[in-house]
């Protein structure tokens, strides 16, 4: 009999994560045992552990890998032996795989966003897109825009160095930091991506003034709790095409499952369960 595959998530305030259920149920459906442990560094018993110690602990315990989330996606990079090209270009790691004594960092958020985008917004115009938020999620959505063929991606973030860093790192030369007021940038765009936490539970509000929306704009959100944010609700109310963040959550998990186990996750089954 095969042993239990050990995986998990390192982050802070992650008790609401649906990843344990998604990963464990998919493994069970495929006929093998997998445990997905939450290693919440904001909670006892892991509260005083640091990221490096936690990573070393799970490696030594024989974990196949771990997901990494807020606030560690950037910090973990320096602790790994190798990075995938994509993780390096994005500048963030959400999946670490331990194999043959080495740790490799991957980023599956970009894949997850791209898959969700194509499912919910396939065929929309991508000549000019405005993205609000240039943190970890924003780096992944920007990379997805490169892959999906966006021609010009305008990055808005009140932390100007974050926007500038993302523009400098992103391959393809499609990104620029916003130079005009957001209203003017949106007036010329075909779509808006929210890559800020605004709209999620605990962060109410809208990341851009709903009065700037038009029916011909598409709107995509990375937030998935709730699935319909105030921004998406306002957009749908005037007839915009929209994409929620739920598919991103499912497909980033599916690709991480592939990497942890070597067995491709059944995407439809994982999505249906979510």
How near is the Cβ of 38 to ligand NAD at its closest, in Å? 16
Q: Which of 224, 231, 259, 265 binds ligand NAD (CB under 6 A)?
A: 224
Write the binding mask 35 to 74 for ligand NAD: x where contact by CB under 6 A, - elsewhere. Answer: -----------------------------------x----
Q: Which of 62, 122, 158, 264 binds ligand NAD (CB under 6 A)?
A: 158
Nearest residue to ligand NAD, by Cβ distance, number only: 135
CA-derived radius of gyration, the chain? 19
Residues 154, 185: Cα–Cα separation, whole Å = 8
How near is the Cβ of 87 to ligand NAD at its closest, in Å? 14
Asked if 100 and 262 count as a contact pair (C-beta separation under 8 A), the reply is: no
To the query of whether residue 147 is one of the catalytic residues in this protein, the response is no
HEC-encoded secondary structure of 112-153:
HHHHHHHHHHCCCCCCEEEEECCCHHHHHHHHHHHHHCCCEE
Active-site hit among 23, 73, 106, 255: 73
Residue written as token pair 């892959």? 147
Apex 268 CA angle, 260 and 122, nearest 5:
105
Write the binding mask 115 to 154 for ligand NAD: x where contact by CB under 6 A, - elsewhere. Answer: -----------------xxxxxxx----------------
Q: Which of 196, 229, 242, 261 binds ligand NAD (CB under 6 A)?
A: 196
The nearer residue to ligand NAD, 38 or 57, going by C-beta atoms, is 38
Q: Would you state the structure tokens that stand for residue 152, as one six-digit string?
A: 């010009």
What does the binding site for ligand NAD look like in residue numbers (CB under 6 A)? 70, 109, 112, 132-138, 156-159, 162, 195-198, 200, 207, 222-224, 245, 248-249, 252
Residues with a catalytic annotation lie at: 73
């Amino acid at each position: 009999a095969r042993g239990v595959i050990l995986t998990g998530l390192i982050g802070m305030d992650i008790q609401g994560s649906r990843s344990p259920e998604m990963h464990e149920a998919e493994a069970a459906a495929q006929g093998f045992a997998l445990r997905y442990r939450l290693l919440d560094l904001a909670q006892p018993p892991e509260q005083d552990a640091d990221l490096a110690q936690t990573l070393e602990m799970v490696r030594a315990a024989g974990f196949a890998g771990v997901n990494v989330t807020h606030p560690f996606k950037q910090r973990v990079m320096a602790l790994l032996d190798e990075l995938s090209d994509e993780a390096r270009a994005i500048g963030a790691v959400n999946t670490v795989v331990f194999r043959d004594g080495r740790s490799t960092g991957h980023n599956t958020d970009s894949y997850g966003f791209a898959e969700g985008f194509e499912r919910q917004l396939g065929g929309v115009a991508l000549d000019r897109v405005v993205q609000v938020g240039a943190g970890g999620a924003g780096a992944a959505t920007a990379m997805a825009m490169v892959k999906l063929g966006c021609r010009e991606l305008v990055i808005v973030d009140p932390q100007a160095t974050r926007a500038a860093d993302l523009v400098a790192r992103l391959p393809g030369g499609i990104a620029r930091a916003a130079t005009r007021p957001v209203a003017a940038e949106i007036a010329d765009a075909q779509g808006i991506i929210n890559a800020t936490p605004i709209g999620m539970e605990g962060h109410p509000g809208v990341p851009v003034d709903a009065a700037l929306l038009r029916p011909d704009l598409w709107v995509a959100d990375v937030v998935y709790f709730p699935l319909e944010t105030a921004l998406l609700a306002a957009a749908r109310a005037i007839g915009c095409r929209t994409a929620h963040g739920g598919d991103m959550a499912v497909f980033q998990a599916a690709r991480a499952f592939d990497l942890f186990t070597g067995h491709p996750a059944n995407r439809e089954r994982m999505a249906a369960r979510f």
